[in-house]
Chains A and B, each alone.
Chain A
Amino acid sequence: MSHITTHDFLANEEEAMYWLSVFEALPDSIGSEIQGEPSVFIVKQIKAFAKVYRPIVISGRIEELIIN
């Protein structure tokens, strides 16, 4: 009997699709009732990135500029 095991990633993808349909159907106001949140540090990093990220166009191409 074969003992080859692989993780069922297809099941993971289907589960992700299922949760997406569940969460998309939830009203945005549900956010205040949910306890799971990313760490304060991660949120601060994202907000900091938003402040410094600047795309500029050089020779017709969008280049990224981070002003520190």
Chain B
Amino acid sequence: MEKQIVLSDEQLVKEFIVGNSISIDILIDRHKAKIFSYILMCVKQQVLAEDIFQEAFIRVIKTLKNGRYADSGKFSSWVMRIAHNLIIDYYRKQKNHSVISNDNYEYDLFNSTQFSDPSIEDQMVVNQVMQEVSMLVELLPDNQREVVVMRHYRDLSFKEIAEETNVSINTALGRMRYALMNLRRLAEERNISLTLS
């Protein structure tokens, strides 16, 4: 019978520092749910949470590889602290946005249903549609899914997508075109309506 050896976080960190890249894969898989959930609870937006999650782990990797990691507690707590600092940085950047004042108007321009929060029903419809879109995107072939995610979830230009995926812009555009055609077909096959009212 095979005996599985489970390495601790500290052992995996040491392994990664000396060059074993599988170790960081194990660490990421072990802690990604907890760390991502923490970030999502704070920022409440999936895409923003993924950006912060990615940036946090990039800092983790750089710190480990640059020999600056001081083992002083739980690995997951350390990563969460990095994520926490990134979340605070994000809030502080948002604070610098301009403040809106409607003091000089008798009629409150912003007192309009146009600017009010969507109703619970509208929110549920939007959430449902976004979940279904997300599910359909997962069904796409890898190269088409990649372009859709980079364009619509990471907000990259086609030039940036082409550079990151090492293809020409025309190829990236073509993949997006086929991705949209496939998404429409998949939605029709499954009788899914993707209309937002």
Contact = CB atoms under 8 A, between A and B. Distances in A.
Contacts of A35: 33
B161 interface: no
A15 B103 CA distance: 30
A20 B80 contact: yes
A9 B95 contact: yes
B94 A9 contact: yes
A20 B38 contact: yes
A3 B65 CA distance: 51
Contacts of A13: 88, 91
Contacts of A23: 34, 37-38, 41, 80
Contacts of B103: 2-4
Contact of B65 (A30, A47, A53): A53
B39 to A, nearest CB: 9
The number of chain A residues touching the other chain, given as a range, is 35 or more
Contacts of A34: 33-34, 37
B192 interface: no
A47 B99 CA distance: 40
Given A28-B31, A53-B65, A36 B53 contact: no
Contact of A38 (B25, B36, B145, B146): B36
A16 B39 CA distance: 8
A53 B50 contact: no
B40 A4 contact: no
Given A39-B50, A43-B28, 19 more contacts: A5-B99, A6-B99, A13-B88, A24-B80, A31-B31, A31-B34, A36-B36, A36-B40, A37-B33, A38-B50, A38-B53, A41-B149, A43-B29, A46-B54, A46-B57, A47-B25, A49-B58, A50-B25, A55-B66
Interface of A: 2-7, 9, 12-13, 15-17, 19-20, 23-24, 26, 28, 30-32, 34-39, 41-43, 45-47, 49-51, 53-55, 62, 64
